[in-house]
A and B are shown apart, each in its own frame.
Chain A
């Protein structure tokens, strides 16, 4: 009893072939979109690799690019198959390629599922890389004269301005590092000497933040220095002041941006998975309908198309028995060897 069988006459077969051809070309466009999404994501990761310690994993965008290219190729071939299927001569030439092609498509679908899983799981990796990278970025903010790190200040400032965030978890991260280079500190000044001596490592720490933490939406001009000292500024209470500097941490801000990208890519991959699965099912129907034509010379005859030749459970049982016979083949050889030995 075939699984999910349908009857097809000539008109239905033609309609199926045409519809399937359009679906395959739609799938080619989807493949192109996947390819460009991969490139976009790769570029976005590269743009901010400095705040991720140049350590970020490019697995997801590389796989996306590969999957996009594969999808274009496979689906273009599938479209050609559909186009040729209604011509009996061409179809008989294509028949031997059908089974390996459909297995290849099923493998491709499995790859899509894997990519979907990766899209959601790699977000953890991005989060951890960001945390580490931002911590180092804040530490190296002042090293504008060290080769290899001289652009860290600009990168971090632009990141804080663009993502409207301050520091790693929040603005207090800036209180724990020296973010003013010693070149610009007057070491003969008493205030400077006091601050440097006030901590074990001799760092010039202050309760100030860089200008890029300032919120333009604040009604008052930005207060950057002496943030925790209420008496240093007129009409200022650091506990109730909300709009002066950005309250969000950059790790949270940048992560939600990347997480948004990866979630949308994941949703798109899910849609394309269903589309490719539909294509494979349609192709199976079309090929079985063409193969089971009662009278191959008469194109008007009716035929039957199905997804699986036997029912679902029977096909599964068949597969299992095939796997077992494959395993038993080795054992039979051993048993065959001993009678030979006994005969001699």
Chain B
């Protein structure tokens, strides 16, 4: 009892081949789209490479690029098979390849599904990577004279301005590091000396933030220094001031940005999985229908197309038996050798017996 059997007349076979040819070219376009999506995501991740500590999240765009390329190749092969399917002389050469093609197409669907799952699962890893990267960025903000770190300041400033964020978790992260380089501190000044002596590490800490934390939407010109002291500015209340600086932390801002990017591509990827699956199923129907037609006496007649030759349980039992056979073939079996020797002796006796009667008659 075949699984999901359908009857195919010659006309239906032709229609199926034509429809599948169009569908496989659509799938090629989808593969190209997936590849471009992977490239775009990779470029976006590489742009902010400096504030990310590890590259675990890069597995998503890498997979997308690989799957895109493989999908273009596989679906192009499918379109060639469709072109040859209605020609009885050219179709048989694709027979062996088709088995491999089905395996590749299934693998592509599974990989695409894995990409969608990974893009959600790796959010934690992305946050960790950003936490460490941003912490280092803020620590090295002042080191504009150290080779290898001289662009940290510009990177962090541009990041805060572009993503409208301040600090790692919030703006208070800037209170805990010295972000003004010692080259610009007047060590003879009493104020500087007091601040340096006020903490164990001898750092110049202040309750101020860099200019890139300023929010342009604030109605008042930006207050950067002495933020915790409500008396240092006229008409300023530290607890209730909301618009002066950006309130979001950069880790949150960047995570939201990348998650938004990956989530918005989720529906597109899922629909491409559906397209690939429909190409796979239609190809199976076409293969079985055309092979059935070739086996008939009149090639123009009706044939049957199915997904599996027997139903699921029987196919599973078949596959299991084949696998066990393959395993048995690898084992050396002493009992079968002795049985083979006995059989050989019996055959020799039989030929002798066959040889002797004729002289009697």
Query: What is the CA–CA distance of A89 and B181 in the complex, to the nearest angstrom?
Result: 86
CA A29 to CA B228, docked complex, whole Å: 60
Q: Does B237 contact A (CB under 8 A)?
A: no
CB distance A220 to B184 under 8 Å? yes
Q: Does B186 contact A (CB under 8 A)?
A: yes
List the B side residues contacting A184 at CB < 8 Å: 220-221, 233-235
- A 153-185 binary contact with B (CB < 8 Å = 1; else 0): 110011001000000000000000001110111
The answer to whether residues A224 and B235 also contact, given A217-B154, A219-B145 and a CB cut-off of 8 A, is no
Cα of A102 to Cα of B41 in the assembled complex, Å: 50
Question: Contact between A234 and B184 (Cβ–Cβ < 8 Å)?
Answer: yes
Contact of A221 among B158, B210, B220 (CB under 8 A): B210
A231-257 interface with B by 8 A CB criterion: 233-235
Looking at A161, A186, A233, the one whose CB has the most chain B CB atoms below 10 A away is A161
Q: Would B184 and A221 count as touching, CB distance under 8 A?
A: yes
The complex places the Cα of A220 from the Cα of B158 at a distance, in Å, of 15
**A144–B221 Cα gap in the complex (Å)?**
10
State the majority secondary structure of interface residues on A: loop
A210 touches B145 (CB 8 A): no
Known: A216-B161, A234-B186. A154 touches B221 (CB 8 A): no
Q: Which A-chain residue is minimally distant from B224 (CB atoms)?
A: A211
Task: List the A residue with the shortest CB-CB distance to B189.
Answer: A234
Contacts of B233 in A (CB 8 A): 184
Q: Closest approach, in angstroms, between the C-beta of B83 and any C-beta of chain A? A: 28
- How close is B339's CB to chain A, nearest CB, in angstroms? 79
Check: A116 CB closer than 8 A to any chain B CB.
Answer: no
* Residues of chain A contacted by B216 (CB below 8 angstroms): 153-154, 157-158, 161, 212
Check if B157 is an interface residue, CB within 8 A of chain A. Answer: yes
Chain B residues positioned under 8 Å from A161 (CB to CB): 161, 216
Number of interface residues of A (CB under 8 A): 30
Query: Is there an interface contact between B221 and A180, defined as CB atoms closer than 8 Å?
Result: yes
Would you call B257 an interface residue if the criterion is a C-beta within 8 Å of the partner chain's C-beta atoms? no
The residues of A that contact B185 with a CB separation of less than 8 Å are 234
- Closest B residue to A216 using CB positions: B157
Chain B, Cβ-Cβ closest to A151: B217
A232 nearest CB across to chain B (Å): 11
Residues of B within 8 A of A158 (CB): 216
Type the 1/0 row for A205-219, where 1 means its CB is closer than 8 Å to any CB of B.
Answer: 000001110101101
Per-residue CB contact flags for chain B residues 271-313 toward chain A (1 = under 8 Å, else 0) read 0000000000000000000000000000000000000000000
B158 adjacent to A216 (CB under 8 Å): yes
Considering the complex, which residues of chain B in the window 145-185 have a beta carbon less than 8 Å from any beta carbon of chain A?
145, 150, 153-154, 157-158, 161, 179-181, 183-185
Tell me which residues across on chain A come within 8 A of B183, comparing CB atoms.
220, 235
Cβ distance B221 to chain A, nearest Cβ, rounded Å: 5
A295 interface contact, C-beta 8 A: no
Tell me which residues from 79 to 110 in chain B have a Cβ below 8 Å from any Cβ of chain A. none
B75 on the A face (CB < 8 A): no
Q: Are the CB atoms of A224 and B217 closer together than 8 Å?
A: no
B214 within 8 A of A: yes
User: Considering the chains assembled together, what is the distance between the CA atoms of A79 and B276 in angstroms?
Assistant: 39
Q: Would you call A216 and B212 a contact (CB within 8 A)?
A: yes
User: Given A216-B158, A221-B179, do A186 and B234 touch, yes or no (CB 8 Å)?
Assistant: yes
Q: For the A-B complex with A150-B219, A224-B211 known, give 9 more contacts whose Cβ atoms are closer than 8 Å.
A: A145-B219, A161-B216, A180-B221, A184-B235, A186-B234, A216-B153, A219-B181, A220-B180, A221-B179
Q: Which 7 pairs across A and B sit closest by C-beta, in order of nearness? A: A216-B157, A157-B216, A144-B219, A219-B144, A186-B234, A234-B186, A211-B211
- A–B Cβ pairs within 8 angstroms, 18 of them: A150-B219, A153-B219, A154-B216, A161-B216, A183-B235, A184-B220, A184-B234, A211-B211, A211-B214, A211-B224, A212-B214, A216-B161, A216-B212, A220-B180, A221-B179, A222-B211, A234-B184, A235-B183
**Interface residue ranges, A against B (CB under 8 Å):** 144-145, 150, 153-154, 157-158, 161, 179-181, 183-186, 189, 210-212, 214, 216-217, 219-222, 224, 233-235
